[in-house]
Chains A and B, each alone.
Chain A
Amino acid sequence: MNETPQIAIKTQNLIKEYDGKLALNDLNLSINAGDIFCLLGANGAGKTTTINLLMNFIKPTSGEAFIYGVDVVKNSRESKKHLAYIPENLVLYNELSGIENLEYFLGLAGLKYSKDDLEAYLTEAGLQNDAFGNRVKTYSKGMRQKIGIALALAKNAKVLLLDEPTSGLDPKASNEFSKLLMRLKNYNVATLMATHDLFRAKETGTHIGIMKAGNLVNQTLTEKISHSELEELYLTHINN
């Protein structure tokens, strides 16, 4: 029996330059199935660049990135089969209902579910039943993100990429979101989350990485560090 968990996300010497300016410098990341890796750092530290590279929305200047061993550049469509992505502000089709949005995106991924199944996923993602058929334009930000989670669940995604998903959510919605992440963790989903929320990172994350000016300057396990230590660590790196 092989006890070592599978590597879900892996980057090797990943570099991204914009017009000669370094946005991401030599990133080596390895995230296992079931991990929740929280990327911390000031704006412009390279968090979003990392996520965009993993989704192949931008091409790396050099280096490689893999999702379950699949090269995200060379085999982009294959690598996306296992990916789910929720940006800071998840925009959906306003004129369609929540359930129609879910059905559409699943259809694009080649998946077809019955209405009951779709509703079950929405319920699991924590969306209240009476909102399923409402147009998305009436949804709050938290409700839209639940559609994103439902999509990840229905797609059976193995890797979840989150770009500041909890910013702008009220504490209750933020707490619900964390619970959903924990549930996905139980399904062995690997999560990479860029965030500014140190508290949430400590509460939810298994790993913490601090980025500064394109460099991953510190990596640590959350269980080994307290709230105050984390804050101090963060500030030390950012102020240096």
Chain B
Amino acid sequence: MSEPLFSRKNLKLLSDPINDSNPITVQVLGICSALAVTAQLKPSVVMALSVVAVMALSNVIISLLRNTIPNRIRIIVQLVVIASLVILVDQVLKAFVYDVSKQLSVFVGLIITNCIIMGRLEAFALGNRPWQSFLDGVGNAAGYGVILIIVGFARELFGSGSIYGFQIIPDSWYIANGGFYENNGMMILPPMALITVGIIIWVQRSKNRKLIED
């Protein structure tokens, strides 16, 4: 308990998953939702924030309970905690940002099956104190969220010519209006999300020496 809240070790819990051990690009977890919700920036941002909330809270709760959880049903306990938090998030979205919750529809429910969350609970929260678990949760969810937002940004820009719903490409550029430009319909479809993630992984590996395998 003598350790300061933001010691170097604790900060590393927060920053590591954003680059060196990013859940999507390095561990390749949580890909399914990364492909599904990123056709536009807005749902990507909301999904990222929802995952941050669910992940941080479930990590803290499991960490607080870690000395009471019966070993034989620990996976079930983790699942109950995640599922309840996801339902809470879903209810709150439905009440306060209805249009976004409609867009995310089933994907909010799918946070339950997001491998990153259970992976962190099992690997980290069960063996660490709440504060560290909180940082680890936020860090991993942020690492996931950052990739989601980059992919969402690229797909919305090239697929729909807008960013966060605001049109970026002028109308007069489009071929339909006598211009030279056409949105790339492929960007809207899930395969391009996978390819975008692939490009991000490529760029990251070429920049980050630690990730280069012999």
**A, B assembled together:** no
Residues of B within 8 A of A (CB): none
Residues of A within 8 A of B (CB): none
